[in-house]
Structures are given as C-alpha cells and as structure tokens.
Structure 1
Amino acid sequence: MSSSQLKVTFLGLGSMGSAMARNILKKGFQLTIWSRTISKAEEFVNAGARVEKSAREAVADADIIVSCLFDDKSCLDTAQGENGYLKGIKKGAVHVNTTTIGPNIANQLEKLHEEHGAYYVTGTVLGRPDVANAGQLRSFLGGKHEAIERARPVVETYSGGSIIVVGENPAHANVIKLSANMVLAANISLFGQVYAFNERWGIDNDVTHELLKIFYSHPGLLKYEEAVRTRNYEKEEGQGFAVEGGLKDVNTMLNTGDQVGVPLPFCSTMREQFVSVLGHDLKDKEWSVLGDAARLNAGLPMPSQKKK
C-alpha cells in the first residue's frame, strides 16, 4: 500500500508529537489528527490534515495510529472511555505508541488492543524536538513482527536516526527507552556535580568543558553539557523536555526497577535532585536544569538569583 493510500491517525500534538506528525504529513500520508488542545491542530489542517474532536472519531478508518502522549495515565485515559480510541479502532489496525511509559502499562495496553482485534506496538523514540523536526529520531520498536512491518513506512518518516527492533514484547521497548533516559539523566547530573566541584575551587568553566570533551563526543549529550556549563536552561516554545517530564521518567525508572527487584540508587538521587530544582521554582526550565541541583545545593545560586 502506497503512502497516498495508507490512512494514518496521530494522537497528541505536544512538541515531540507535532514534529513527528509534520514529517508524516510531508511524506504524503493521509493524516487525521487529534489533540486535547485543539488550537495545536490549526497548522496541520492548513497543510491538508483532517482534525477530529475525539480520539474515537480520529481512529475510525485508520490503518496506522501513532500516539505521543505524556504518561501512563494519559495513555490509558485516551484508550478507554466512551470517546477513547479503542471504541473506534478497526480490526487489524496497528497502533504505535511512542510515549515513555512503564512496561506493565504497555502489557495492559497490548491486551486491550488484542481484545479489540488490533495490534499494539511500542515505538519509543530517542531525541530532542529539534531532532524530531529533522526526522532523525531513533525508534525502538517492540511488538508483533507483522504489525511492525506494516507500520514501518510511517515510523521511517521521523526515524532517520535508525530503527531498532527490540523484539515481540512491546514492554521491552519501554524498558530500553527508560534505560536510555537513565543514561542521559545520569550524565546531566554528573555534569552538574563536576561543574559545581570545579567552580568551588575557582576553576574556569571553559577548562572544565575541555576536560569533559575528552570523554564525551555525542552531539546530543554535548548539548546538555553546554546547557549545564552555561547554566542556560530556558525552554523555548515547542522545544526541550520539561522538568516535570524528567521527574515522571525517573519515577517510572524506579517503579520499573522495583517490579523486578533491581534497586536503582542513582535514580533515587536524581529524583531528589529533580524535586530540589522544583523547590527552587524552576519547573518552567528545560530538564537539563537537573544539572544545576549540585550547584544550588553547594550554595552557587543561578545567575538570575545572584544579588546585585
């Protein structure tokens, strides 16, 4: 089936979802969209997409559904209820859920889809909104082989970075994404500790940056290092990842570890640091402000908080 024949529905138009939906539309797919915030749909309607008022109506004739929501609750709420998409999903449809959620919720959603004759695929993504806009996200796919292959042409529109098939268990792709975010958050936290340590000894940040460049080379990670170095954590409209999202993911990591008896002490520390930056009234900043927890705890105030 060609892209012009394949009917695609996208659920959720946050900063990541909007970027992914744009790429799907650019590749010529028939796109229907739904968002809790209807104003976010205007640009897509102008570009030729159709908008529906409920998730149920949006998926009625969809061959492939892609969702990008916030958390466990939003995924379950959007699926269920009178206007939930499971009430309207057609038999044989494939749903790719890109949301970072707990693996047990993925298992629950897979079962609900099976009960309605549809396929559920976890399709978590790795990358910032600017990477999503460029169509260069990395996707981790977990689900039935047949379903993944049917959805692949749509997933490829935003996954120029690579597609990694984790296996037939959707939950495993969620665990892999949580692992990826654990690595990112742990490094952001470490950057903050190194800068706080060196600043307290009067070492110039540029020298610390040169040290860290010896060990790190990935452009995405270097962007976070730059944010920590310059203490620029501003979250532009439609870009970045919010502090509350970071805290949600760390809590999910801890819960997922608990479920299989794996303690994650570094995640416990990062959770405390996220709560600390929230306590400093920094919830509107990008999640890389996690790196400032060590400075704040060391008595090094944010530049905007310094006394003149």
Structure 2
Amino acid sequence: MKLSLLLFALSMKLRFARRNNELLRSRLQARTASIWIQTEDHRVGRVFVLGKGQVFTRSGGRGDADVTMIWKDADIAFKAMTSRDPQAVARALETADLRLVGDASVAQWFASLIQAMKGPSATPTSAEKVAVIGLGKMGAGLAHNIQKNGIPLVVFNRTAAKAQAFVDHGALLAKSPRDAAAQASIVVTSLMDDQSVRDIVTSPDGILAGLAPGGIHLCATTISPDLAREMAQLHREHGTHFVSGAVVGRPRAAEAGDLITLMAGDKEAVERCKPVCATYSGMTMVLGEDPGLANHAKLSVNYFAVSNMELMGQIYAFADAVGIDRAFYGRLFDASYANPTLKLYAAKIRDQEFQTEVGFELVGGLKDVKLMRAVSEATSRSLDYAPLIIEKMERAVERGRAHSDWSVFTEVPCDR
C-alpha cells in the first residue's frame, strides 16, 4: 500500500516541483519517455509518461513503456526511491533487488529526475582526496563535479591553462602526474588510449612514483582489457590498487553528472571509489573484480553505438541513391530509437553535421573500434562490422576528418 501511495505522491510532486525546480525542468525537457514501475508479484504498478516538461501518470497495465522497473518487493522499492543516496537505484540493480526490461538509460534518466526533485543531495561521504589527470572534454566534466561536491581536488594537465578554472575554485595544481598522485588517495585518469595511460603510470615522474601504499588509480579512459589487467598487476606490486571505471556518455553528460560508470576491481577499492563516481554519474554498475570486465563492457557499448551509425549511414546512402528524402528516414529513426544519444547520431548523419557538437572525435573512435576488433578476435570473433567501420574511419582520417565527430565515417563509401 505504501509503495502505491509513494508512486501516486511522486507523480504529484514531479508536477509541482517542475514549476520551481530549474534542474528538474531542464531534465524533463531533455527527452520523452515512458516508465512502468511494478513489483515482481504485480500487486503494485504505475506508468509514468514524461516529456516536453510534462508529467502524465496512471495506475494499471504496462502498455508499451520504454523501460519496466521490476522491484523485488514493495519495501525495497520504497526504501530505494525515498533515499537521498543518488546511487540507491544502482545498488538495487547490483543486488538484484531491481530488474530492468527495456532501455536502461531511461531508468537512469528517471532516477536523475527523482534526485533533482529532492534537491541537492548531501555531499558524498568521502574522506578521500582526489586527483584528476587529463582535463579534456570528459576529464573536465569529471573534475567539475568532483569539485562541486566538495571533495578536495588536485588537477594535472599537460596544458596547464585547462586547469586554471579549477584552481580558481580552490583546486591544487600539480607539477606532474607524480606530484598529483603524491597529494591524493584516489587518482582519476581521463586520457586518450592505452599508451597514454601506460606512460603516465610507469614513467619516472608518473603515478606509481607518487601514489602512496593503499592509494587507488581509478581509470576512466577507454582502454583494452589486457592493459587494465596489466595495470592491476603493476599496482599490486606497488602496494596500490587499480580500478577500471570506464564512463559511458558524451561531454554534456559528464558536465551534468549524468554519465554511466562501469566499474570493476578489488571490492574494497571499488567501494572507496563509489562516492567519487557518484559525483559525475547518474548510475554506477559494478561488473566484478577482474578490471578487464569493465573495459569489455565499455567496448561492447561503443560497438553497439558505432554499428548503429554504420547501419544508419548505409540506409541514408540508399535513400540518396533512389531519391527518397532523408527526412523520411530521420522520422523513422527518431521514432525507433529511445536512447537520446542514438537520436542525436541519427540527426547528425541525416544532416551531415559532423563539425558541430563534436563530443567524440573520429581519431578517438578509430582507436576504440580497433580495440573492439582485437578483443573480438581474441574471444568471440563475432564483431563483424568492426573491419568495415575501421576501413571507413581510416579513409575519413586520410580526408582530413580526424577531429570531426566520429560519426563522420558514415559518409565514406566502402571499397568493394
């Protein structure tokens, strides 16, 4: 009964809060989606339809919701949904107290709406001092949210000017990766690739040279699973810990604190990292103690995205060849994809807008797809789109598009 009342009250509170809560209002405007919430015994259920700043809700049948949130029982659901802990829903997923059927990003978005409605959450309980190394588009978003949540921050970037905004707000500027690690208990790296991570860890002026025993290297960079395991071994030998914390989302999501973090590593180290990840993530998912698992997961997520881009590019090329207006397929993709990131890429490919809102550059995408191919060849041998996409990406780089949005490869025809 109390969960039914909670869900009804939630609908009322969302409607009321959107009038005066700017954060909630902006998040409501971000997408349109439907969420069905129920218990496993089907005794409680309510659907929420949210979009364009509006909130509609009713009890009754599930219908065609974008995601169904199935709670183990009403008490667990009530505790999680009333908690001020922004990771309460993610923890319920980890413990199998909650199952999702459908688009998980919609559930993440819905959880972020509830947190926005409740107002600013308490500063994460963390005795850690955090260093962020790499203040590019993603790293700057991570550092912004860590600092905003009151966690002591040290920053390092090869171009020191990128660190100035954080220093102006109280962060300490390190002279080197070694200096940054020496001043922190958790070091977050947001870099380009395997080589950049290996160099910044193992160089004489690198992380291992400065990180004290018991310290943690939390790697948000998309790297190979093999490198993650190599880093874990190096850190064990040094008396420190390595945690893979690959992030899913574009720079805007990093800035807004709405990323998904995929974590794997030593249990105690992961627990220490969770409050830090919570500052920049709407959802954190722990995949196990083998750090390579988080990187396998991140690469598979990116493969899903890039394969859909390739499919959309093929269909738009077909449309151009036979004389069908691209707008027809634009409407089709918009209606077919619930995930806002895929909607964004569908619009980019339709309009061939690869120079604006460049969230992920082609040169980075090429690196990721090559990692996907290598992982596939070593395991399932099933990622059949990878060689085709690599060929097209390499040709796009040759045409001078290395710093365009990574979806630019879709305009390159394939040699056959």
What is the letter of the counterpart of residue 322 of structure 2? W
User: Does residue 1:46 correspond to 2:172, yes or no?
Assistant: no
Residues 174 and 129 of structure 1: is their aligned pair in 2 closer, same or farther, counting only changes over 3 Å?
Answer: same
Q: Which amino acid is the alignment partner of residue 315 of structure 2?
A: V
1:181 to 272, 280, 302: 302
Partner of 1:244: 363
1:278 to 392, 397, 404: 397
Deviation at 1:211, TM superposition (A): 2.0
Hey, what does 2:312 align to over in structure 1? 191
Partner of 1:113: 235
Ranked by relative contact order (alpha carbons within 8 Å, sequence separation 6 or more), the top structure is 1
**1:166 counterpart (283, 287, 290):** 287
Task: Tell me what 2:198 maps to.
Answer: 76
One-letter amino acid matched to 2:304: V
Paired position in structure 1 for 2:42: none
Alignment partner, residue 228 of structure 1: 349
Residues matched between the structures, number:
294
Q: Aligned-pair RMSD on alpha carbons?
A: 1.8
Q: Please state if 1:85 is matched with 2:214.
A: no
After superposition, give the CA deviation of every residue in 1:192-251 in whole Å (9 maximum; x if it has no partner): 111110111111111111222342121111001110011001145xx5111100110011
- Which ranges of 4 or more aligned residues in structure 1 deviate by more than 4 Å? 1-5
Question: How many angstroms does 1:37 deviate by?
Answer: 1.4
Change (3 A) 1:3 1:50: farther
Shift in Å, 1:265? 2.3
Residues in 2 aligned to 1:103 and 1:58: alpha-carbon distance in whole angstroms: 25
When residues 187 and 3 of structure 1 are mapped into structure 2, their CA distance, relative to the original with a 3 A threshold, is same
Number of the residue aligned with 2:49: none
- 8 Å contact kept, 2:330–2:350: yes
Q: How many angstroms does 1:175 deviate by?
A: 0.4
Partner of 2:103: none
User: Secondary structure of 1:95's partner?
Assistant: strand
**One-letter identity of the residue aligned with 1:251:** K
TM-score norm. by structure 1 comes to 0.91
Any conservation in 1 of the 2:185–2:211 contact (CA below 8 Å)? no
Deviations along 1:68-100, whole A, 9 cap, x unmatched? Answer: 110000000000121011011011112110111
Q: Is the 8 A contact 1:4 1:28 kept in 2?
A: no
Secondary structure at the counterpart of residue 287 of structure 2: strand
Show structure 1 runs of 5+ residues with no match: 299-308
Question: Residue 96 in 1 paired to residue 215 in 2?
Answer: no
Number of the residue aligned with 2:184: 62
**What is the aligned-residue identity percentage?**
38
TM-score normalised by L of structure 2: 0.68
The answer to which of 82-91 and 213-222 deviates more is: 213-222
